[in-house]
Amino acid sequence: MSSALPTQIALTGDLASAVPPAPMSQVPMGQVIISFAESLIELPTFGELEALYQQDKIAAILKQVLQYFQTHRDTTEIPSQLGEFIFQKTVELEIYVTEPVEARAINFEARGKDYATNILSYASELPEAVLELLPALPLGELVICHAVVVSQAAEQGKTVEQHLTHLLVHGMLHLLGFDHELGQAEQDEMEAIEIAVLDKLSVANPYE
């Protein structure tokens, strides 16, 4: 996905100095790679935008998602094949932040929807045989349209950071194989996980 996108500047935040297998009793380490569309980088307000997408902030969100599944291993199954390895390896997540014109084009190409959406999730979908050999586990990529996030936050009476945090948790769950469009049971399960993780991040229930 990233290779097809226009020129980007990437920022890498690594919570681990190396990528050894994580002990089964511990939450996996997280590695976050963030890139921005060139048009956003050229904005005079890019510094403010960049501050919202700091690696340590997103890594903390990823850690809480992984912590949830570590805590609920006996009751909550990760649908994706990533679940076989997620407690054994460092987890890698890519994030690409863009603007409405490109977001609309990406959404149309990926889903046939002719509008800019808030977030798109691209799971890694590598075969288990490949995942087993990799030193780190590629979770996939999240493509975020920042302008849509800002607009939705205002409409919902939330701060941009609160809404972005919810969308990131939502997107990470999609990368792990959860899909609220499969049915009511799947939607209820996904929302319950989101609410629990967001509570740990001091973000109110977004569905109330």
Helices and strands (DSSP H and E) totals, the chain? 8, 5
Of the candidates 165, 182, 179, the residue with the CA atom closest to the CA atom of residue 118: 165
Q: Which of 190, 160, 175, 156 is nearest to 62 (CA)?
A: 175
Are 146 and 98 a contacting pair, CB within 8 Å? yes
**170 annotated ligand binder:** yes
Q: Is 174 annotated as a binding residue?
A: yes
Around Cβ 98, how many Cβ atoms within 10 Å?
26
Nearby residues of 188 by Cβ (< 8 Å), 6 or more positions away: none
Does 163 count as an annotated binding residue? no
Annotated binding site for Zn(2+): 170, 174, 180
Annotated binding site: 170, 174, 180
